[in-house]
Chains A and B, each alone.
Chain A
Amino acid sequence: MGFKDQETVYTPPTAADVEAAKAKYGRDIYHDFDLDAPVFNDRLLDVLDDIVEKCPVARSQVGTGFWLVAQNKLVREVGQNWRAFSAAGGYMPNRPEGLPFLFPEECDPPIHTAWRTALNPFMGPAVIAEYDATIRADANALIDRFIDRGECEFVSEMGGLLPGWAFFKNVLGVPIEDLDKLVDGVERGTFAPDMAERGAAFGFVFSYLGEYLKKRSEEPPRGDMVDMIAAGVEYDDGNPAPWADRVSVLVDMTFGGIATTTYVMAGGLLWLAENPEARKLLVSDPETYMPRAIEEFARVFPPVVALGRTCTQDVELGGQQLKKGDFVMMVYGGASRDPRVIEDPKKIDITRETVLHSAFGVGIHRCIGSNLARLELRATFEEWLRRIPDYHVKQGTTPVYETGYLRSMRSLHLSW
């Protein structure tokens, strides 16, 4: 199945669909879509499937209101067209007042091009491959701490730590003693119910990383990504990037580096706990099945549920007329479950040869850390299965989730 086969005829939700949604979810998900509401946490996948199926372009009344698109084709249409759908208005709907923009995520060419061109070499597959041994050693050091106990809470004891360790040690050079503070800042900045609290939590992350960048700019260079960010890039007008922009780049890299991969790790391990045949397959032939499993887990456990763009002009999208200034959310988690491009999308199947998904975004803003994320995932699953091939969810416990525009797992108790 390829892109060319996708249907382009849309059927908006009928009055009956809306009534059915209210009965099923207690909410009109087609016109009252709010990723922060409890039902989107509890029944995210059902909601995404219904949105993809019934509603190519929905309108949320939440806050100042925004559109959302979930079909794979429409998500690509938005993500690949930064001229009409600008990233410079931010990715968050109802953005807290005064929050600085994160570069290069929340800017467009030519500024975006300048930063990505300079940053990409530090996150390319060749450079990342050199981190493999460190990340595997860290995965084993974490497993050492709990393996003899016969149980662990995976998120706080491994899944929430490894991405930070990998990123801090290999990329940032920030002391890992400070990891907890930064993870907390990023998480409250993402999920805190109160928008002002989100702004304050991000404020802490900005000030911590701003000081670190300042300190590094005064030290002898180490030739790493932080040196490059501190030195800055030249913008199109011939001027160097302002200092505030450089801090914002460091914040953006950190944000992406520690807040996302945890969920794919936890989601994958949870599913494997309940699917012993798949575990055996991964242990017997990791070369064939591990890359496929990782793509499949990224597809079905999307850490980034949805990100937004701002219309720079009046534009038609999926049969709806959008106005200049309107905010649009690309529901990546839905695009990866679109039956128009994925056969039997509700089924988790680690043997799929072709896994087409939008977990890392599309267009020039696609995730810069995807190579590192894949390496972390591979190290986690391989080292875990090598040392703990047989395990299950601890009796009497249930995994706890948290969902906003990002999705995360708060706790996952496993025992063996």
Chain B
Amino acid sequence: MRVQIALGKDGGQQGCTGHGRCAVMAGDVYRLDDNGYNIDRGGVIEVPPGLEESARLGVRVCPEGAITLAK
């Protein structure tokens, strides 16, 4: 399973803007950089086996809709 963290146009629009909810609710999958943005923004996270539920929780709590399941 893989999840994608959108960077968004102009580094922000419709992408990760640093709410940090993913890391608060599912810190085993999502990590933040020092500025509070998802450290993997603009990229894809390979979800380790067993953490699929956490990964899905991150998808559901992002206020921007920036996290999506990737093919």
A residues with CB within 8 A of B: 1-3, 76, 80-82, 109, 113, 120-121, 123-127, 291, 295, 353-358, 360, 362-364, 366, 370-371, 374
Contacts of B65 in A (CB 8 A): 2-3, 76
- With contact pairs A109-B10, A291-B24, A370-B20 given, residues A362 and B35 touching in the complex (Cβ less than 8 Å): no
A-facing residues in B25-39 (Cβ within 8 Å): 25, 32-37
In the complex where A354-B57, A370-B19 touch, is A363 in contact with B64 (Cβ < 8 A)?
yes
Complex Cα spacing A80 to B16, Å: 11
Could you jot down 26 A-B contacts, CB within 8 Å? A1-B60, A3-B65, A80-B8, A80-B13, A81-B13, A109-B10, A120-B35, A120-B36, A120-B37, A121-B34, A123-B36, A124-B34, A124-B36, A125-B23, A125-B36, A126-B34, A291-B25, A356-B60, A362-B17, A362-B63, A362-B64, A364-B10, A364-B13, A366-B18, A371-B20, A371-B36
**A371 partner residues in chain B, CB cutoff 8 A:** 20, 36
Provide the residues of chain A in CB contact with B17, threshold 8 Å.
362-364, 366
B11 within 8 A of partner (CB) = yes
- Residue B61 is within 8 A (CB to CB) of chain A in the complex: yes
The 7 A-B pairs with the shortest beta carbon distances in the complex, nearest first, are A364-B12, A124-B36, A120-B35, A3-B65, A354-B60, A80-B14, A366-B17
Determine whether the beta carbon of A366 is less than 8 Å from that of B19: yes
Residues of B within 8 A of A (CB): 8, 10-14, 17-21, 23-25, 32-37, 57, 59-61, 63-65
Q: Within the assembled complex, what's the spacing in Å between the Cα atoms of A363 and B24?
A: 19
A363 adjacent to B12 (CB under 8 Å): yes
Question: Which residue of chain A has its CB nearest to the CB of B32?
Answer: A125
Chain A neighbourhood of B19, CB < 8 A: 360, 366, 370
Shortest CB distance A309–B (Å)? 13
Please report the C-alpha to C-alpha distance between residue A364 and residue B16 in the assembled complex, in whole angstroms.
9
- In the assembled complex, how far is the CB of residue A71 from the closest CB belonging to chain B, in whole angstroms? 14
Q: How far is the CB of B58 from chain A (nearest CB, A)?
A: 10
How long is the Cα–Cα vector from A113 to B9 in the complex, in angstroms? Answer: 13
- CB-nearest residue of chain A relative to B59? A2
Closest Cβ of chain A: how far from B2's Cβ, in Å?
A: 17
Kindly state the separation between the CA atoms of A364 and B32 in the bound complex, as whole angstroms: 17
Which of B11, B19, B35 has the most A CB atoms < 10 Å from its CB?
A: B35
A280-B25 Cα distance, complex, nearest whole Å: 22
What is the CB-to-nearest-CB distance from B7 to chain A, in angstroms, rounded to a whole number?
12
A35-B24 Cα distance, complex, nearest whole Å: 33
Query: Which of B10, B11, B18, B19: most chain A CB closer than 10 A?
Result: B18
> Within the complex, what minimum Cβ distance (angstroms) separates A118 from chain B?
10
Given the complex, which residues of A lie within 8 Å of B23, measured CB to CB?
A: 125
A109's nearest neighbour on chain B, judged by CB, is B10
Q: Please name all residues of chain A whose beta carbon is closer than 8 Å to the beta carbon of B12 when the two chains form the complex.
A: 109, 113, 363-364
Residues of chain B within 8 A of A126, CB atoms compared: 32, 34
What is the distance, in angstroms, from A223's C-beta to the closest C-beta of chain B?
15
Q: Which residue of B lies closest to A117 (CB)?
A: B35
In the complex the two chains form, is A353's CB within 8 Å of B13's CB? no
Bound-state Cα–Cα, A81 to B17, Å:
13
Chain B nearest CB, measured from A347 CB (Å):
18
| A76/B64 in contact, CB under 8 A | yes
A357 and B63 form a contact (CB under 8 A): yes
C-alpha gap A125/B18 in the complex (Å):
10
Q: What's the Cα separation between A125 and B37 when bound, in Å?
A: 10
Cα separation A1 to B60 with both chains bound (whole Å): 7
Known: A81-B13, A113-B10, A121-B34. 18 other contacts (CB 8 A): A2-B59, A2-B65, A76-B64, A80-B13, A120-B18, A123-B36, A124-B35, A125-B23, A126-B32, A354-B60, A356-B63, A357-B63, A362-B17, A363-B17, A364-B10, A370-B19, A370-B20, A374-B24
